[in-house]
Structure 1
Amino acid sequence: MATEIDTVAIGLIQMSCAPEPHLNLDKAIAKIEEAAARGAQIVCTQELFRSHYPCQTEDQAAFELAEPIPGPSTEALGKIAKSRKISIIASLFERRAAGVYHNTSVVIDETGEIAGRYRKMHIPDDPRFYEKYYFTPGDLDFGAHPTAHASVGVLVCWDQWFPEAARLTAMAGAQIIFYPTAIGWWHGEPAGVRPVQRDAWETIQRSHAIANGVFVAAVNRVGIEGELEFWGDSFVADPFGQVIARAGGSDEETLVVECDLKKIEETRRSWPFLRDRRIDAYHDLTRRFRS
């Protein structure tokens, strides 16, 4: 019987982005190499790391940023994963077919091959976050992807606010849920609103860790792009919801964090939320609203 792995070191790449996609890919590769040199075994990028966040306006020219999967990014990152014997989670603007695009995260394993794919399910449409113009909602459900070091789930940004997504990903067997993210403040928002928004963003994700007894890793970008200032603060929460590592709010940073996977079992024994779920009484969750 194979021995279960007790710990895994994960790397979060928090960075600013240039307008030129090739510069962002080069920067991300350098930072992934840095994370691997520091012991990271699974490394995750921020949301849509290859470009400026494209959804502040509705502009057909932005579709030119999309690429197929497999494609140039997965080929380049696959070489790093294979040479370093690590897994990489990369968030990409996927061109699936003419007129069909997704906000997609791929899991590349230590062989350099694509081991899993997740297409963002919850697509926002807010001022300066016009994602419905660009992205078709995902159709791959909520899953877990095995790697040599841990079973990982991937959800993307707006998915962060939905407990159902985290629950189903944990139920699929994910030990760590990664959230590639691009979230920030609009320049015109009152200063007092900013900490409230940031705290709500962290609180909801820590609650997913607690409710499901899993590690949660949120990877945000930094920098000013157009009218948005991305707030960084990438973090990792353990299954008790404690933040065990956090990046700053304005600077590029590569976090490497050791996760003790034994805490999942320990936490679920103390807080057996999965055991006590009333699955016989939840049928109305499939309705939009119960009137």
Structure 2
Amino acid sequence: MTNTLNVAVIQQRNSATVEDNLTKCLANIEQAAKQGAQLIVLQELHNSLYFCQQEDVDQFDLAETIPGPSTDKLGQLAAKLGVVIVSSLFEKRAEGLYHNTAVVFDTDGSMAGQYRKMHIPDDPGFYEKFYFTPGDQGFEPIETSLGKLGVMVCWDQWFPEGARLMAMAGAQLLIYPTAIGWDLFDEQDEQQRQLDAWITIQRSHAVANGVPVLSANRVGFEADPKATDAKHGIEFWGNSFITGPQGEFLAHAQHQDEEILHAQVNLSRSTDVRRIWPYLRDRRIDHYQDLTKLYRD
């Protein structure tokens, strides 16, 4: 483990061509590494458009095995550059069994581990339960040569339980590949409230657990493939960011531009912060039993 890490988050637009999207990711990873990044995070489902706007069985053709073609290319690039890469793939585990899976590659190109998305949304424009089976690996950090990474995916970022369990298991960073945006039919004030809530909840995970947070989102408008109105779709709101262990912004991207976001993260600050804000010490686990219930009736 090193105390100081140069990290990068890649925020980009996607097209309908998988090969072009992956080529773009690989080029951005190379650029980030040239600029000094040791740990590079890609956005959720970076190989395609966000296909979950509709329930369409043909979209299962986008899924691939792990290992597979994308992991081969990403692993080779990680080894060539000597960097850790956090990717996000549509995994075909078996016929009829698919996951939204983050795969982490270590500096030697090996797969350090994977995380299958645990919380699966099912909302207008985000019909993920049709495509993804919830993860079965729990909230376990992934050990790399740079440290222990608490990798989760998008909808997971709204749940404090996942962040806490990752931190309790020793995660030194919380990392969220993401695909989230606005419905253009919402009022501007509502759009701003949604964005503010998304940023706030993730910064709160940094504060509550005393660890940095890296959040990678995409940008650009992606039309609903079955809509006739050009406004139907998702305007991905970007705003990828990196915080320190007190939720302080170290870097913050804009809402509409492609960007490689860089920051230097000092992991030893987590120790300092946890000494002055000892939340883990003061947890009352003897009174938290009801957290295992769905609801207290």
Pair in the same fold by TM > 0.5:
yes
**RMSD over aligned Cα atoms:** 0.7
**1:247 counterpart letter in structure 2:** A
Larger deviation: 4-13 or 175-184?
A: 4-13
Instruction: Report the TM-score when normalising by structure 2.
Output: 0.96
Deviation at 1:189, TM superposition (A): 1.1
| TM-score (normalised: structure 1) | 0.98
Q: Could you say which residue in structure 2 is the equivalent of 1:266?
A: 272
Residue type of the alignment partner of 1:91 = S
Counterpart of 1:46 in structure 2 is: 43
Alignment match, 2:2 = 5
- 2 CA distance for matches of 1:108 and 1:44? 11
Q: Deviations over 1:121-145 (max 9, x none)?
A: 0000000000000000000100111
Q: CA deviation at 1:278?
A: 1.1
Candidates 280, 283, 290, aligned match of 2:289: 283
Alignment of 1:205-220 (within 5 A): 205-220=202-217
User: Aligned residue for 2:12?
Assistant: 15
How do 1:78-89 residues align onto structure 2 when only pairs under 5 Å count? 78-89=75-86
Deviation of residue 7 (structure 1)?
0.2
For residues 259 and 208 of structure 2, what CA distance do their matches in structure 1 show? Answer: 28
- How many correspondences in the alignment? 288
1:150, distance to aligned residue in structure 2 (A): 2.0
Structure-1 residue corresponding to 2:250: 244
Q: Given the alignment, which residue of 154, 158, 172 partners 1:157?
A: 154
1:228 aligned partner: 234
CA distance in 1, matches of 2:239, 2:118: 24
Displacement of 1:207 in angstroms is 0.3
The amino acid that maps onto 1:158 is: W
> 2:189 — aligned with what?
192
1:147 to 144, 153, 159: 144
Residue equivalent to 2:99: 102
Q: For residues 50-95 of structure 1, what are the alpha-carbon distances to aligned partners after superposition, in whole Å with 9 as ceiling and x for unaligned? A: 0000100000011000000011111000011001111100000000
Contact residue 24 and residue 49 of structure 1 kept, 8 A: yes
Query: Identity percentage over the alignment?
Result: 54
SS at 1:12 equivalent: strand
Displacement of 1:281 in angstroms is: 1.4
Q: Secondary structure at the match of 1:274?
A: helix
**Structure 2, unaligned runs of 5 or more:** 224-232
Q: Any idea what SS the aligned residue of 2:281 has? A: coil
- The alpha-carbon deviation at position 244 of structure 1 amounts to 1.1
CA distance in 1, matches of 2:188, 2:174: 31
Return the offset for 1:237: 1.1
Give the whole-Å Cα distance in 2 for the aligned partners of 1:162 and 1:269: 25
Secondary structure class of the residue paired with 1:244: strand
Distance 1:66 1:24 in 2: 15
Unpaired runs of 5+ in structure 1? none
